[in-house]
Every structure is written in C-alpha cells, then in structure tokens.
A and B are shown apart, each in its own frame.
Chain A
Amino acid sequence: MEKKDINEVEKQMNLANDGLSDKEKTLFSDARPQVVPPVHKIFENFRNWARAQSLWMLAFGTGCGAIELRPLMTSRYDMSRYGIAPRPSPRQSSVFIIGGYASLKTIKRIVRSYEQMQGPKFVIALGSCTINGGMYYDSYYTINRIDHYIPVDIYVTGCMPRPESLLAGFNKLKERIRAGRADGMNKYAENFDWYKKNQKRIIKDWNMPDYNW
C-alpha cells in the first residue's frame, strides 16, 4: 500500500515530457517545479529587501517594447541607481520584462526563459498588448493575455509606455517585493498544470520538456 503511494507520488513528481522523442527524454530533466515556502519572517523580509534592491533584468527583448528598455540604461534615465542591471542569462536574472505583444513564436521562448530563471522571479508586462492584445486583439498570431501563460507581477500600460512609466513600474514592483507579495514563482508551481495546459493549447510544436529547468 505504502509502496504504491510512493510510486504514485513519484509519477506525479515526474513530468511526462511528451513533446520529446524517447532519445531526447534522457537529455532533459523531468522534475516538476516545486513550491518553496519562504523562510522565517524576519529573515525573509531582509531577503526581500535585498531582492528589491538588486533587480537584474533579463536582457531578452521579446517584442517592440524592448526598444524602451535601452533608454533606461542611458544617462538620462539611469536605471542602475535603483539597483537595476541588465543580465544576459536567465539563470542569473530575477526580472523578466515582456516587451509588448507576444506572438505564438515568442511565447514559446518566453515560457522557456521564464522557467529557466531561478525563483523568486518577477515579471513586468509592458504595454497594452500584454494585457488584452491591444491593437492586435484579433490577430491570429498574437497572445492576448500574457498572464494565462506565466504569472505577471506588474502591468505597465500604454502603447508604448515611456521609460518613465517603466521606472514607475519597477518601483511598484519593488514595493510588492518588499511586501512579500511578489511570489509568482510559487504561484506558477502551484498552478503548474493549468499554466501548462494553456501554454500547450496554443503552442503546437511543443518540442521542449514540460518544464525547462
């Protein structure tokens, strides 16, 4: 009886990875993402402060909004004074900025990159397109609501939002983080099956593992 339980739990733990051929299955990890609860409160507050003060954003321009990220680095807006820095690898970054509309092609990369970031991780969705599709609301190829696919912490509206509003969004994010409310990572793990179902519904050529570690 006990043994069977363990087997079932294990089955639940491991992902099917149906999108991969048998040969490739051995090359990808099939572990499920797990909810990692926060540590003791005081300690977690300190960590949240540090997380808020050091936001490394993934240098991945997913849409037209990426053009707005460049001015942020310049001397005019200088995001570095807020502890924000670009980082080329998702492994090392904590903020993912969805730069505007996400096409079917991009969403696959977005999901992959998001899953490869180590939690806690935060998402800022930029522009109207990410909220409801914006001017592409009826496009056959554009994602309307990005938070059906990955959890979003902050939406910055506009088409396009100016760097100032982006900075405001960052500050809002910082507040959320400090308050301990920006927990998209655990949310994603908790509702993993739902997110995955949504993702797989629109991404037809699913040739990745179910969770991209």
Chain B
Amino acid sequence: MDIWTKIFYAVISVVIATIYGLALGGVVRKIYARVHGRYGPPVWQPFIDIIKTHAKRVAVSHGIMFYLGPVFRFAGGLGTYLFIPVIFGSAVFANFSMAGDLLLVMYFIFFGQLGMALGAGEGGHPYSPLGIARGLSQMTTFEVPFALSVIALAIQYHTLNITAIVAAQQGSILNWTLFTNPFAVVAAMISMLGMNMHSPFSIVLAPQEIPIGPPIEMNSSFLATLQTNRGLFVAAKLILFMNLYFGGATNLVVMIVKTFLIYMFSVFVGAAFPRFRPEQAMRFFLKWPTIIGIISIIFVAYL
C-alpha cells in the first residue's frame, strides 16, 4: 500500500472518529440532563460550540508554548488514535498500527498531556499548574491498575500487538477478555473512570474549586482545538478498551455499539456519584483496582 492511500484512509478514519466522539459527548450531555430531569442541549451542541469558539475574532496568546500546547494535545489525540487499529480486518481503519504496539499507544497518550500541561503552564495562571498537578497525580495512580491489566493481557495473549489481541478474541463472545480474564477487565474499567475524568474523579477540571483548571487561559481556536481533541481522544480510548477487553469490532456498527456501551459505564457512574477529594481519588486507585489488577496477573500467570 503506498503512503498516500494510507494517509487518505487515515483522514477518513480520523474524521469519522472525531465526529463520533463529539456526538458521543452530545449524547452524554443529553443523558446527564435527563438524569437531572432536564431537556438538555441538542446532541449536535458540541459541534456548534466548536464552530462558535473558532469564530472568535481575537485570540489571546501567552507565548509560543501556549500556542503549541493545544497543538500538542490534539497531536497526542490524533497519534493515539492513529496507532490503534480501529476495526479488525479493515484496511481503511487499520491506521498506522504497524508502527508500534500497545506500549506505543499507552505512552503516546502522555504526549498530548505533557504538551498541554506545558502550554497551560506558560499561560501563567495559578490554577493551571494546580489542575495539572492534580491531573498528573491522578494519572500516576489510575495507570497502575491499567498497566497491571495490560500486563495480564500480555501474559494471556503472549503479545502486545493490538491486532493480535483482537484476533485472539474472535470467534465467540466467550473469547473476549471480559470472560477469559474478568479481573483484568474490572481493573481496567475502574481505571477508565479516572481516565475519562468523570465524577467521582473529575478533580482536574473541577469547575467549582479551580475553574476548569489547566485550560483556564485557553480561548478561541486554542479552546476549539482542545474541544475537537476531546471528541477524538474519547473515541480513541474507547476503541482501545474495546479492542483489548471486548473483542474488538469487525465493522463500524459493532464498533459504535460497543464503544457506546463502554462509555455508558463511566457516564452512569459519573452521573450517580459526587466528586472525590484529590487524595481520596488517588488512594482509591491504589487500593482496590490495584489489588484486582494484581489478582488478574496472578490469575493468568500462575493459576
């Protein structure tokens, strides 16, 4: 396959994922509204928000790193997405997964976070580092159960190749990691709650304490870039979880159904629980999910 076809496919893939991710965001808002007993904004509200934000006439920039921060963030989202094979067996949605395996994806997630943290840092607002400090600290803790769960997968499937992991789960629903190694899935799903930063783990943006934290100085197109990334990044993470734990997808519909359901887990938890204090949230991840993660490793490696 020549490189231009590849890039063309990648563009299609990215656009679809972004749209899907943003729409998912709209749906979530709708669901939250219904939980509150409200009517809620239209599902396409995220798109309008992005257009509106881009339509600002003036953008305030604090410097080059501030300017590049959202770029890093979006590049991180794009990269993360592009290193994940989205649909099993599809050439269009295979992305650039031949460049690296699961470890690459896990570390590429940090790329955007780091860049954004730096950009927000140059903004000079005290809430930015406060939010980042919370976010990074929380990240260190929810990565632990997730990493343990991934290690369990690597033991189970003898590979870190995502496509191979998906391939190993094909055939029957009982081949899903969900059924072959439920502990790993539980650990990973709990850590996903932290990753998605819904309550009770929404300590980073925390509008009431540190008004939305890191991106407080972000405005105009900077903010719009971040919003776009939010859609794509959510989609990427969900697809990753789907691939690792829920048998992957062989076509778009299955992909959408599965990722939607996965996302609903964290949405429902988020709608039902109030927010933790930072140290409560972090300690939580270092306790039960970590123990479950260790059990999952013991389960596949030694039992």
Seen from chain A, the residues whose Cβ lies within 8 Å of a Cβ on chain B are 36, 46-47, 50-51, 53-54, 56, 59, 74-75, 78, 80-81, 83, 85, 88-89, 91-92, 94, 118-120, 185, 213
A81 contacts B211, C-beta separation under 8 Å: no
A83 contacts B45, C-beta separation under 8 Å: yes
B219 contacts A81, C-beta separation under 8 Å: no
Rounded to whole Å, the gap between the CB of A181 and the closest CB of chain B is: 16
How many interface residues does B have (CB within 8 Å)? 30
Rounded to whole Å, the gap between the CB of B187 and the closest CB of chain A is: 34
Is B104 engaged at the interface, CB distance under 8 Å to the other chain? no
Rounded to whole Å, the gap between the CB of B219 and the closest CB of chain A is: 4
- Tell me the nearest residue of chain B to A34, going by C-beta: B58
Contact pick for B223, options A59, A75, A92, A120, CB 8 Å: A92
Q: Contacts A88-B212, A89-B216, A91-B218 hold; do A36 and B58 have CB atoms under 8 A apart?
A: yes
Question: CB-defined interface of B25-57 with A at 8 Å, one 1/0 digit per residue?
Answer: 000010001001111111001001101110111
B52 contacts A94, C-beta separation under 8 Å: yes
Is B269 engaged at the interface, CB distance under 8 Å to the other chain? no
Is B220 engaged at the interface, CB distance under 8 Å to the other chain? yes
Residues of B near A83 (CB, < 8 A) are: 41-42, 45, 48
Seen from chain B, the residues whose Cβ lies within 8 Å of a Cβ on chain A are 29, 33, 36-42, 45, 48-49, 51-53, 55-60, 207, 211-212, 216-220, 223
- Tell me the nearest residue of chain A to B210, going by C-beta: A88
B60 contacts A91, C-beta separation under 8 Å: yes
Subset of 6 A-B contacts with CB under 8 Å = A50-B48, A54-B48, A56-B49, A75-B36, A80-B38, A92-B218
Q: Contacts A89-B212, A118-B56, A118-B60 hold; do A80 and B223 have CB atoms under 8 A apart?
A: no
A81 to B36, CA, bound (A): 13
Rounded to whole Å, the gap between the CB of A34 and the closest CB of chain B is: 8
- Tell me the nearest residue of chain B to A78, going by C-beta: B38
A89 to B55, CA, bound (A): 18
Contact pick for B58, options A51, A54, A119, CB 8 Å: A119
B52 contacts A50, C-beta separation under 8 Å: yes
B55 contacts A119, C-beta separation under 8 Å: no
A53 contacts B217, C-beta separation under 8 Å: no
Rounded to whole Å, the gap between the CB of B112 and the closest CB of chain A is: 20
Residues of A near B48 (CB, < 8 A) are: 50, 53-54, 83
Residues of B near A36 (CB, < 8 A) are: 57-58
Rounded to whole Å, the gap between the CB of B204 and the closest CB of chain A is: 13
Residues of A near B38 (CB, < 8 A) are: 74-75, 78, 80-81
Contact pick for B220, options A50, A59, A118, A185, CB 8 Å: A118
A46 to B48, CA, bound (A): 11
Residues of B near A53 (CB, < 8 A) are: 45, 48, 52
A81 contacts B56, C-beta separation under 8 Å: no
A185 to B220, CA, bound (A): 15
A120 contacts B45, C-beta separation under 8 Å: no
A91 to B216, CA, bound (A): 7
Rounded to whole Å, the gap between the CB of A30 and the closest CB of chain B is: 14
Given contacts A54-B49, A54-B53, A91-B223, 11 further A-B contacts (CB under 8 A): A47-B51, A50-B48, A54-B52, A75-B37, A78-B33, A89-B216, A91-B60, A91-B218, A92-B219, A118-B57, A119-B56
A50 contacts B55, C-beta separation under 8 Å: yes
